Structure 1
Amino acid sequence: MTGQFVLPFAAAGPDGDSDFLVTDSNRAVIDRLFDWTRLPFGAAVLIGPTGSGKTAIGRAFVSGSGGCFIDNADAENDETLFHAWNRAQVQGLPVLFAAERPPMRWDIRLPDLLSRLNASLLIEIPPPDEAMAALLLQKLLARAGLALPDALADYAALRVERSYPAIGLLARRIDEMALAMQRPIGQRLVRDALATLAGTDGGSPDTD
């Protein structure tokens, strides 16, 4: 598998991660976002589903730019968001807001705040490609102390729904099934985990 690189300024999170994954699926997003000196008004809004890497990207953004990151921005009050946006203008340091939905779908009551957020660069994380699906499965399972060989990661990536929530759910299913069976991950286990997502019985058994 190819396509992964690690930004040198990525910030370590509480789970011990020191990097986030970049493949062709999100490379343009990362390149645009981390060119923060060219962000309109020094502000950007990053949107994407749960599991798409918004928090890890935000930590790296802060570490590299010295700016501010507000995660789950749609749950923050208007005053907090308004002051963060204005502070970026005064201090000359960028601000990144992250949420699952664009600002027009947040519960914003201050018209001036909504206009400022709409003037910021809106960046949406695209669906994962095959390379991202395989790498993310390996990373999520590694957090649980499980090794997913490249061949099995590629096998699963070809068959799982191309969405971050689906990939996260598959990793949890593989983890649960490996724990229940008390054995290393093999093709049959991965196939059966995929089948649970599809609501099928997994077909005829394979050998591991």
Structure 2
Amino acid sequence: MPNDSPPRQLTFDLPFDPRYGREDFLVGDANEAAYGLIEAWPHWPDRVLVLTGPVGSGKSHLAAIWAERAHAWTVTAAAVTHDRVQHLASNGALVVEDIDRPEGRDEAALFHLLNLVRERGSPVLFTSGKPIDSLGITTPDLRSRLRLAPGVAIDAPDDALLRAVLVKLFVDRQLIVDLGVIEAVALRIDRSLGRAREVVAELDRDALGRGRRISRPLAVSVLRRMGLGEAAEDSEA
């Protein structure tokens, strides 16, 4: 019996490099305050700022925008070790990403870094996936310093921002889809930019493997395979 389904193509899971330019950042109600504070540099209320938001919310993108403006180095919190503190504190502005990740986090080194940059008047932007009080920091002085630093949070995106981000994610991958695909995805995922990235990446892989364009039925099928969209489908029935 002949098989009429299109042949599967060999796909390569090549790394996708997101664009982190200022012109690529989409502003909405969820991130307007954070974006405004980044744009306000160098007129910050303090030399230290803590930027919080869930995975995929745009923290790294905003940090990259500020790093370009402030000519800052960018390191992860795990890279702030005792032997590197003097070097990091002596190079001007600094971005310290992912202070919410306890793996490899040297609290004594981070506290020492904070003291040094304040002494030298250097600006530091910390990013975190959770509020400071939720990080389980056991060094009281470090916890106190971070809690006292001005902070700004990125909230979950509203519907308009989620749809705009979906369009951008498809365009970034040079994928052309119609509005039906955008609506199908937006209605079936939680309002998370991280989830939007996951879905677009999966649709890209699936469409490439099948040698087909991304249609609404294909999007719904992939979402169902990912365990997404049942509630939306029930409401449409």
**2:228 pairs with 1:198:** yes
- 1:106 counterpart residue number: 135
**Counterpart contact for 1:47–1:124, Cα < 8 Å:** yes
- 1:123 counterpart residue number: 152
Map 1:122-201 to 2 at 5 A: 122-150=151-179, 152-196=181-225, 197-198=227-228, 200=230
- AA at the equivalent of 1:52: S
Per-residue CA deviations over 1:27-56 (Å, capped at 9, x if unaligned) read 122113432445343111111121111111
Q: Indicate how the Cα distance of structure 1 residues 82 and 150 shifts in structure 2: closer, same or farther if over 3 A, else same.
A: farther
**Counterpart contact for 1:134–1:153, Cα < 8 Å:** yes
Paired-residue identity, %: 30
**2:74 pairs with 1:74:** no
- AA at the equivalent of 1:59: A
Measured in 1, the distance between the counterparts of 2:183 and 2:120 equals 46
Measured in 2, the distance between the counterparts of 1:147 and 1:80 equals 47
Moved more, 100-109 or 51-60: 100-109
- AA at the equivalent of 1:53: G
Measured in 1, the distance between the counterparts of 2:172 and 2:149 equals 35
- 2:17 counterpart residue number: 15
Q: Indicate how the Cα distance of structure 1 residues 16 and 140 shifts in structure 2: closer, same or farther if over 3 A, else same.
A: closer
- 2:81 counterpart residue number: none
Moved more, 92-101 or 158-167: 158-167
The equivalent position to 2:114 in structure 1, one of 70, 77, 85, is 85
Shift of 1:173: 3.0
**Number of aligned residue pairs:** 190
The equivalent position to 1:27 in structure 2, one of 11, 28, 32, is 32
**Counterpart contact for 1:46–1:97, Cα < 8 Å:** yes
Measured in 2, the distance between the counterparts of 1:128 and 1:160 equals 12
Per-residue CA deviations over 1:51-86 (Å, capped at 9, x if unaligned) read 111111111111113421111123331134223323
SS of the residue aligned with 1:41?
Answer: coil
Measured in 2, the distance between the counterparts of 1:16 and 1:171 equals 13
Shift of 1:101: 1.3
Measured in 2, the distance between the counterparts of 1:101 and 1:168 equals 20
The equivalent position to 2:52 in structure 1, one of 47, 55, 67, is 47
Measured in 2, the distance between the counterparts of 1:108 and 1:126 equals 23
Moved more, 162-171 or 109-118: 162-171
- AA at the equivalent of 1:175: D
Moved more, 43-52 or 188-197: 188-197
Q: CA RMSD in A?
A: 2.8
- AA at the equivalent of 1:46: L
- AA at the equivalent of 2:212: R
**TM-score if structure 1 supplies the norm length?**
0.76
SS of the residue aligned with 1:117?
Answer: helix
